[in-house]
Structure 1
Amino acid sequence: MSRGPRWYEEGEEPDYRFTLANERTFLAWLRTALALLAGAVALVQLVPAFAVPGARSGLAALLAVTAALLAAFGYRRWARVQRAMRNGNPLPMTWLPFAVGWVTAVIGVVVLVLVLRL
Structure 2
Amino acid sequence: MSTPEPSQDRDGPLPDRRFPASVYRHGTEPDPRFSLANERTFLAWIRTSLALLAAGVALEGLGLPLQPDLRLAASIVLIVLGLLAPVQAWRGWTRDERAVRLGTPLASPALASPLTVGTVVAGVLVLLGLVLR
Shorter-chain TM-score: what band?
Answer: 0.7 to 0.9
Unaligned runs of 5+ in 2: 1-15
Root-mean-square deviation (CA, aligned residues, Å) is 1.8
| Displacement of 1:74 | 1.5
Asked if 1:82 corresponds to 2:94, the answer is no
The match for 1:97 is 112
SS at the partner of 1:11?
A: coil
Deviation track 1:12-56 (CA, whole Å, cap 9, x = no partner) reads 0111001011111111111111000000110121023633x5332
Q: 1:5 Cα shift?
A: 1.6
Matched letter for residue 116 of structure 1: V
Corresponding pairs, count: 117
Provide the C-alpha distance between the structure 1 equivalents of 2:83 and 2:38, rounded to a whole number of angstroms: 20
CA-CA distance at 1:85 after TM superposition: 0.7
3-state secondary structure, aligned to 1:54: helix
Q: Equivalent residue of 1:2, what SS?
A: coil
Aligned residue number for residue 72 of structure 2: 57
For the pair 1:29 / 2:45, whether they are aligned, the reply is: yes
- The percent identity for this pair of structures is 44
Q: Pick the structure with greater CA Rg.
A: 2
1:10 aligns with 2:26: yes
SS in 1 for 2:125: helix
- TM-score calculated relative to the size of structure 1: 0.87
Separation (CA, whole Å) in 2 of partners of 1:24 and 1:112: 33
Structure 1 CA distance for aligned equivalents of residues 19 and 61 of structure 2? 39
**What letter is aligned with 1:81?**
D
**Structure holding more helix per residue:** 1
